[in-house]
Amino acid sequence: MHQQVSRIFFGIDIAGFNRADRSDCVGVVMRRTLYDALQRSLDSADIPPDCYELLDRGDGIMTVLGPPADIAGLLRTAVPTLAATLNAYNKAAHQAHRIRLRASLHCGQVVRDAHGYTGRDISHAFRLLDSPELRGELAESKADMVVAVSDAVRRLMPPDSARRALTPVLVTTKESSAQAWFTEVTTDSALSR
């Protein structure tokens, strides 16, 4: 019998990964950089490796986090560290190697079976990450990273500057529409304070 458990889902995806000016070798460099940056960001939030799993998606990663990981630590430490690491990398990288990220943060129930995770909440995290609205937000932004925070996550956030920095957006997913909250993440954004 499978048991539902509560988890946090933090998805990241490299925008334009398969552009014509990016060879497979460039893709390997970008993936290595992404994994290193994500590892550094999780370490910065004191999240031990045995508390999360990284689900590879080729041009992105879905991180499934269990206790003691918490949303506050991800938003205040891990996400800004990831953005700062990418910003430093992008300053030195050739144009074709620069990384811009879409990210999603959601929490809820998931079931693990022999093949991985399943459930509405992990599907919702993926759909936020791939939504046309988030793609458009990143395309219009000058930031290296834009995050879609689910309404479930926003309700758990304290009413601080990070929460006030979120912009409400109605996101259209495969089956329905859902309220989400977007923010650009830069080295001086509200999430990093």
Residues contacting 146, CB < 8 A, separation 6+? 101, 102, 103, 134, 137, 138, 182, 183, 184, 185
Architecture in CATH for domain 4-192: 2-Layer Sandwich (3.30)
Site of tokens 């936020």:
128
Separation between Cα atoms, residue 149 and residue 167, nearest integer Å: 10
> By the 8 A CB rule, do 10 and 70 touch?
no
Residue 91, pLDDT score: 94
| pLDDT string in tens for the chain (193-residue length) | 678 999 999 999 999 999 999 999 999 999 999 999 999 999 999 999 999 999 999 999 999 999 889 998 899 999 999 999 999 999 999 988 999 999 999 999 999 888 889 999 999 999 999 999 999 999 999 999 999 999 999 998 877 777 888 999 999 877 778 999 999 987 665 555 4
Listing DSSP states for 124-157 in one string gives: HHHHHHT-HHHHHHHHH--SSEEEEEEHHHHHHS
Q: Tell me the pairing of strands 116-118 and 101-113.
A: antiparallel
State whether residue 86 is helix, strand or coil. Answer: helix
Listing DSSP states for 24-38 in one string gives: HHHHHHHHHHHHHHH
Residue 184, pLDDT score: 92
Residue 2, pLDDT score: 76
Residue 187, pLDDT score: 66
Cis peptide before 68 (omega within 30 of 0): yes
Q: Whole-prediction pTM value?
A: 0.93
Helices then strands, each counted (H, E), the chain? 7, 8
C-alpha atoms less than 13 angstroms from C-alpha of 164 in its C-beta half-sphere: 5
CB atoms within 10 A of CB 186: 18
For residue 157 the two structure tokens come to: 């956030």
Residue 1, pLDDT score: 60
For residue 79 the two structure tokens come to: 């996400």
